[in-house]
Amino acid sequence: MKRRALATALAALCLPLAAQALTPVWSHTLSGSIDGYALGDVDGDGRLEAAVVVRGGTYAPGRSVPGVGSLALVDAGGALRWEVQTGGELAGFPTLADLDGDGRAEVAFCELEAAGRCRVLDGDGRLLWATGPLSYPGMTTVGPAAADVDGDGDLDLVVVSWGGLVAAYDGPSGALLWSYDAWAGYGDLLFGHASVEDLDGDGRKEIVFGGNRQGGLYALDAATGTLLWRRDLWTDLGSTFFASGPALVDLDGDGLLEIVVTLADGWIAAFTSTGADLWALSLPGTFAWSSPAAADLDGDLRPELVAVSTEGTVYLVDAQGTLRTSRALGTESWAGPSLLDADLDGLPEILAASRDTLHLLDGKTLQTEASFTHGAGGLMPTALAADIDGDGRTEVLMGSWLGGELLAFAVPVPSLFAWTQLAGAAAHPGRLDLFGDTFAGKDAFAALSIFRAIATHAASDPSLPGSARRTFAKEVLPELKSGLKKLFKGSPRKAIEEVREAIDGLAQAAAQGAATAHLQKLGARVALQIFQDLLARAQAVLGPTHAEILRAQAAASAALALVAAGRFADAARAVEIAAKRLEKKIRFVGAFCTAPLGEPYGQALCAVQALYGQVGGRHLERAMERLALAQADKALKEMEKAARGLAPPDADRLARIAESVALAYVEDAVQSGLPLRNLAAAQAALADGAARLAAGDPLGAIRRFQSAVRNARPR
């Protein structure tokens, strides 16, 4: 199974995290120095692969000999899957993103050459396309960004090159969309990544990046490459960017993104979405090879900022630009900070590395909770954190530049956050964002299961007032348990209702002295995830222009606005009402799957839709309607009826889809931590169904998959 028991992971919570060393669960030594890596699912199996840029040549203190680099793909277990060379030296972070809309990530990376190219490979290492020559597009701690810059629904690639050129390329084809030349305009060279976001809330994205020679801070229109504004930070602050990029984060709660940068001469500074000054703070040391990271670290619903100096000092700065605290790591640092929830409290901890030691730091005090020291040293670049192997727990990925070793460490709990690429995600936002690409609860079942685990952990806090503890026990935890059961029964609306009632309970606990504001926000995000999954599946059978789909999309937008206003229960109520209407309207209208949906029931729905296009049949229509509601048992019944009238090849195909539904259901049930009817019988039925399918009995296989779902149903 791709996801194993969450309960096993939660058992580790009986031990304090500080007592647990960061111990590698696997390591792989590459053919040279590791310059960058990123995580993504290149084959659609639900596990994450690591794309690794291997520098090439020999690098050690006082001795550097450039050579031919390579791009390696390492699987979730640490085994090398493939490695390719381009003939040039490589540097920087790769980027993993689904550029062609096939539901699987492609790999983009760049050469450290005077006329270097960036290349995009598929999951098997085959070249899909390459850019024209650019002046050193591959740079250490820099990498291409992936985002939809032109609004056509496909992700595109944005490349920053040392020679001053920023260029955007169409994701599917590699065609040049536009380019902007900072050297021609301002004599600036560029050494840092670009971040792509909608800064001002107008529905159009902007691209922000910094200059190394003249210290310019630039904002471009992402659709056209037109310069929107530029700040001269060399004149204003006497400093420039050195291998760093911006973090884009809402510092003041106005719904617009501000820009936070770290500069080579020790400045951390913030600017509005239009480039106006907010504040600037001078700190001891220099900032090189490191970009800032932002998140709410203390649960007050306001972001904090983390920066790591080259000298190895971690700084914690609040949203107003005031230094809260700092701590020295002991030796110099070549890696920027990254963020994850390592103790199941719903708040991030910090990963930071000195030259030889990786530290897991408390997000409020910066005290070390766990660490790992590497014998060869040279830890670089930024650590990543995600559920790599699909076991329901978080893994941390870290590289040794000097040792050429890639290491994975297990964190014994799940997380609603992920930090999978340079600056967090493919668009390089530099922040943990529950409503962005760093949200790790990628489907409703996982999100609600993890949220329930976080709430359970919060309820066990010995510092919780007695009245609040009773509220958790009576008004929060029972609702979340019931919500999970409703989700498994195929009623997303009722699951959202239970989550909304849990948010009300958390608000009551807050009035009794418990710090639950961040948990209320998490609950609103989970409710929205349940609704978004339902909406995506409903659109696949109703069509994007159906009146109820448009109404539901408006409700989701309204819910986001309510979250921004701090009205978390109201946000959940808005999507609860919309879900009730949407569930009543789900009827098969036509086949509207234009791209693979990201969660198992959506994937199965689109697979049935493809088969339906060839064979038709009312039972397949009903199966799609049931899958839209995530009603696994009823969908399998309709598949069984449909299979009776299908020829063997088509019946086999339908049985494989049924297997995926049953497998997803059982895995989600295990991950939920709920008591199940008979897990052993469910697993035996899955195995028997697979055997019957292999033996040419698709109808018998589907019946056994139905049995697996019945036995895995939560009690």
- pLDDT, tens digit (0-9, with 9 covering 90-100), for 429-445: 999 988 888 888 778 99
CB 594 within 8 A of CB 456: no
Q: What is the pLDDT of residue 59?
A: 62
pLDDT above 90 (res 96)? yes
The mean per-residue pLDDT over the stretch 631-652 comes to 96
pLDDT above 50 (res 11)? no
* pTM exceeds cut of 0.95: no
The mean per-residue pLDDT over the stretch 250-264 comes to 94
Q: What is the pLDDT of residue 9?
A: 42
Identify each DSSP E strand in 136-275 by its residue range.
145-147, 156-160, 165-169, 176-181, 195-197, 206-210, 216-221, 227-232, 247-249, 258-262, 267-271
Residues forming beta bridges with residue 260, ordered by sequence position: 247, 270
| Beta-strand pair 384-386/368-373 | unpaired
In DSSP notation, 209-227 reads EEBSSS-EEEEEETTT--E
Q: What is the pLDDT of residue 38?
A: 97
Residues forming beta bridges with residue 52, ordered by sequence position: 37, 72
Taking each continuous run of H as one helix and of E as one strand, the counts in the chain are 16, 34
188-206 pLDDT per residue, tens: 999 999 999 999 999 999 9
340-374 pLDDT per residue, tens: 999 989 999 999 999 999 999 999 999 999 999 99
pLDDT above 60 (res 626)? yes
380-413 pLDDT per residue, tens: 889 999 999 988 889 999 999 888 999 999 998 8
Q: What is the pLDDT of residue 60?
A: 59
The mean per-residue pLDDT over the stretch 541-554 comes to 96
Residues forming beta bridges with residue 368, ordered by sequence position: 361
pLDDT band at 476 (very low <50, low <70, confident <90, very high): very high
Tokens of 399: 């590289």
pLDDT band at 18 (very low <50, low <70, confident <90, very high): very low
Q: H-helix or E-strand containing 574?
A: helix 568-585
Q: What is the pLDDT of residue 3?
A: 39
pLDDT above 80 (res 150)? yes
Please report where in the chains the tokens 């039925």 appear, as a residue.
685
Q: What is the pLDDT of residue 599?
A: 87
pLDDT above 60 (res 5)? no
Report the chain's mean pLDDT, rounded to a whole number: 92
DSSP state of 12: G
The mean per-residue pLDDT over the stretch 127-152 comes to 94
How much of the chain exceeds pLDDT 70, in percent?
Answer: 96
**N- to C-terminal Cα distance for the chain?**
21
Tokens of 295: 């998140």
pLDDT band at 20 (very low <50, low <70, confident <90, very high): low
What does residue 109 show for φ and ψ, rounded to 5 degrees? -155, 165
Which residues 6+ apart lie within 8 Å of 478 measured at CB? none
